[in-house]
Structure 1
């Protein structure tokens, strides 16, 4: 794995409870799932990439789905959740004068995070919509812990007259979907495009602000 994914290596390669073969299997599975998706990846491909027999995988993991969960759950629960929450809190807890300034800080924060964790981001985006258990993990460890703080922040800017009088949930949905829509397009759908993050950030912020600002 490259330096962009060194956090994944930290989680598994430094785990003394895993055998060396398990670590090879997990690293191979992460790379394969990220490249081809869970459904299109076979255990025989993972075994070949890891340099082990396919039977070795099933000695440690009953099914391919068990292997996926053994990768994603510790990432979310033990490392990614506290990292994301602490990282996001740095943005959410800052007293930005303008909602626009908050958006810019949040955008920059997420671009930096995804650059360091691209394989993880790819797996989560690809698999969460189709894996109910992963949805529960994500909601439990990340989404629910951030949402309330985000809601308070929206109410704060509404009280200052900077946001339209819509439910906080609507403003959050518009904001989050716009930011992550760009990040998904940039990193997963069209990575070959020569993206200018600074320009795209400002254009996306303008679109969000135009949509959520009160009309004169």
Structure 2
């Protein structure tokens, strides 16, 4: 009996250290979500959409499959979230662009075009956009959501062009359309989806200058 009593006393501390069962804490939930979303992005990029499974993502992230299903009911829902997060990074970068009202218009546009180009050709985001284009036929709703994301990304540019038009510094009566056209020129269309991006800062700045030189004459203020 003494030995049994001693064993009970020494086991109690070990039992007390065991992780309590039940739902994870708020911090743990955030860490788990970040873990499987990161694994999902990598899996989609490495294997493509069709070859990626939630089971494999859970295994790569070291989480239970049910952990993912509690938040995303299907692979398409998870895919949408991965794309949304990636586009959110680009949106935040553009939202953070500081455009001062009294800055030289040409210098502002040069900076905007270069920022747009950098955002569109960041390697991981470019790879994901290529994947989205490939899956757009299968997921038409994804294309719509991406267009909405794009509209939000360029919102600061729309606001700037609208103000410049009101001030008489530019002639852009349709600011949103002009911003979309500028973004298309800045990104380079399909060129950078099927070939290598520009090589370094000098080429990038030369590209921005050529884009701005192209649009500024058409956007020049009209005589009263």
TM-score by length of 1: 0.60
CA positional deviation for 1:200: 1.4
Q: SS state of the match for residue 151, structure 2? A: helix
> Which of structures 1 and 2 has the larger relative contact order (alpha carbons within 8 angstroms, sep 6+)?
1
- Corresponding residue for 1:119? 124
- Corresponding residue for 1:42? 52
Change (3 A) 1:215 1:199: same
CA positional deviation for 1:158: 2.9
- Corresponding residue for 2:110? 104
Change (3 A) 1:122 1:103: farther
- Corresponding residue for 1:143? 151
The Cα RMSD (Å) is 4.3
- Is the CA contact 1:28–1:50 (under 8 Å) kept in the aligned structure 2? yes
Unmatched runs of 5 consecutive residues or more in structure 1: 1-14
| Whole-Å separation in 1 of the counterparts to 2:147 and 2:179 | 17
Q: How many residues align?
A: 188
CA positional deviation for 1:211: 3.8
- Corresponding residue for 1:178? 185
Change (3 A) 1:84 1:215: same
Q: Which has the larger share of helix? A: 1
- Corresponding residue for 1:191? 196
Aligned partner of 2:74 among 49, 60, 63: 63
